[in-house]
A = this chain, B = another copy of it.
Amino acid sequence: MDRRQRKTREAIFKAFTELLSKKSFSKITVAEIIEKADVGRATFYSHFETKDFLLKELCAELFAHVFEAEQGNVNTHSHIFDCEAPDGVFLHLLQHLQKNDNNILDLFSCEDSELFFGYFKLNLHRLVSDHMSLFEARRSPELPLSFWINHIASTFTETVRWWIDNKMKESPETVAKCFFLAV
């Protein structure tokens, strides 16, 4: 990809993220975005069909980055702590959040946070399915599998929401423990 394209794309994402932390998506105008990003109007529309597409692509880029380490091969991702631990994947996600990569926390706290939590939960569904063995033991036989997967993904999402709403006072380890106690 052309360096100019990359710079433009990044500038737009950055401006958009900053705006999202201050006002709701529906109240943000293209004029504001391009002014903050300092790019021309035609440039914006050559990159993104509409404002909605910009949002979708931001989400996709963001969560692809956060979840890529967890999907499949763990070896490509080197860390101090043990990624191989049975419950390490979820702790790992919490640590990523604490580091606030890509200013994801702003998006989880903004007016349209539901939207981002929705995407987060969607990705979690896959992750939970891949690690079902962790949770099979606690599953009552009367509970349908689809219910159980949704329940675990939701519980993790809500745990994160609670953590962020409470100013992230607890350590990722404590939060992970809460999650496993609740589920």
Contact = CB atoms under 8 A, between A and B. Distances in A.
Contacts of A114: 114-115, 118
Given A118-B114, A154-B154, A182 B147 contact: yes
B178 A142 contact: yes
Nearest to A24: B52
B161 A150 contact: yes
A26 B51 CA distance: 12
A20 to B, nearest CB: 15
Contacts of A115: 114
A138 to B, nearest CB: 10
Interface in A140-154: 140, 142-144, 146-148, 150-151, 154
B26 A151 contact: no
A53 interface: no
A182 B151 contact: yes
Interface string A140-183: 10111011101100110011011000100000000001100110
A178 to B, nearest CB: 6
Interface of A: 26, 114-115, 118, 140, 142-144, 146-148, 150-151, 154-155, 158-159, 161-162, 166, 177-178, 181-182
24 contacts: A26-B26, A114-B114, A114-B118, A140-B181, A142-B177, A143-B178, A143-B181, A143-B182, A146-B162, A146-B166, A147-B159, A147-B162, A147-B182, A148-B182, A150-B158, A150-B162, A151-B158, A151-B159, A151-B162, A151-B182, A154-B154, A154-B155, A154-B158, A155-B155
